[in-house]
Structure 1
Amino acid sequence: MTLHDDAVRVLKDYADQEELRQLYLDHLTARPDGMWKSCEVGHLTASALVIDPERERVLLTLHRKLGMWLQMGGHCEPGDASVALAALREAGEESGIRGLTLLRAGEPVRLDRHPIPGPCRWHLDVQYAALAPAGAVAEISEESLELRWFGYDEVADVADESVVRLMERARAAL
């Protein structure tokens, strides 16, 4: 199964956000390259909100290019076997935490379509929630200016509405 096929399967099985889910599926039907950064009209991305082992805080990154507090995530790569594993890979790379596990049996928590600067117009983000193992230590990557754990009640003060909605859906999945 290709990554494109996996994305279609994941989206067909996703039972929420019907209008946005259908937009993603239509995009993939019309664009065989719709998984890749080279698809300038837009492409799927994968992200994961990292939750601490005590399930009281989330780890956000101050994104180097965007200057915003965000969940870990990014572009799918040809070596990714699934969208879920792409999200897990990105979360591990950007947080430095090994042993993250996806919640909800590896199913997405929500979808978020957002405009981006540059030649590409849209990211069609498939968002997951990941639990950090006990004793996890975050290590900053070159993509981040800073990494910080935030209590649930602090997220709205630093992040945009899409991160807040992701956090709310992730908490519901705990």
Structure 2
Amino acid sequence: MSLHDDAVRTLREYTDPMGPAAGQEGREEQEELRRAYLDHLAARPDGLWKSCSAGHLTASALIVDPERERVLLTLHRKLGMWLQMGGHCEPGDGTLAGAALREAAEESGLTGLTLLGAGSPVRLDRHPIPAPCHWHLDVQYAALAPAGAEVRISEESLDLRWFRYDEVAEVADGSVLRLLEGTRALLGAPSPHPA
């Protein structure tokens, strides 16, 4: 199965782990994005690659600490924002989930990460980016860090830091907060902030 085939399968099977807690508007937004991503891939065989100027899928992962009390965020070097780990798919990636894990490991220095939620995406998030491309169609996952692992700042980051769930709203944007809410729902943890 090609990465393109895996992406189509992943998106066809995607359901928002927030379920009814996402509210009608949240569920409709995720369904609209799911259809838009599938349409994008159907229209553009290169829709996974950075070279696709109409936009391309990316894969990211929010890393949760072993105690499930904090998340690891990176201060992105180019954007100057606290974000989850993630980035572009590469030719060696066999699956979107694998691309998310690869990016998370590269940007955090952590080995032994495992995806939560049976390896299914937590959220979809579409955001504009500067030309020559126009959109990142991010497929977002959650990953659990192994006990005792130490982070290492990559060249793509200015800083890496663990944040308690209740601290994320102080540093991150709405996209990261929504990913955190989805991750907490996946973990069965109560949400401190309504989505």
TM-score normalised to the size of structure 2? 0.88
Choose which of 16, 21, 25 in structure 1 pairs with 2:38.
Answer: 25
Q: Deviations over 1:80-137 (max 9, x none)?
A: 0100000000000000000000000100000000001231100000000000000011
Q: Deviations over 1:136-166 (max 9, x none)?
A: 1110000000000000001011000000000
**What is the CA RMSD across the aligned residues, in angstroms?**
0.6
- Corresponding residue of 1:14: 14
- Corresponding residue of 2:3: 3
Which segments of 5 or more consecutive residues in structure 2 lack a partner in the other structure?
17-29, 188-195
Give the counterpart letter for 1:14 in structure 2.
Y
Choose which of 82, 99, 119 in structure 1 pairs with 2:95.
Answer: 82
Choose which of 84, 95, 107 in structure 2 pairs with 1:71.
Answer: 84
- Provide the secondary structure at the position in 1 that maps to 2:105: helix
> CA–CA distance in 2 between the matches of 1:149 and 1:117?
29
Identity %: 79
- Corresponding residue of 1:141: 154
Query: Equivalent residues in 2 for 1:98-109 (5 A)?
Result: 98-109=111-122
> CA–CA distance in 1 between the matches of 2:15 and 2:68?
25
Q: How many residues align?
A: 174
Which segments of 5 or more consecutive residues in structure 1 lack a partner in the other structure?
none
**1:170 maps to 2:175:** no
Choose which of 47, 51, 55 in structure 2 pairs with 1:34.
Answer: 47
Give the counterpart letter for 1:99 in structure 2.
G
Deviation at 1:15, TM superposition (A): 2.2
TM-score normalised to the size of structure 1? 0.99
> CA–CA distance in 1 between the matches of 2:9 and 2:61?
19
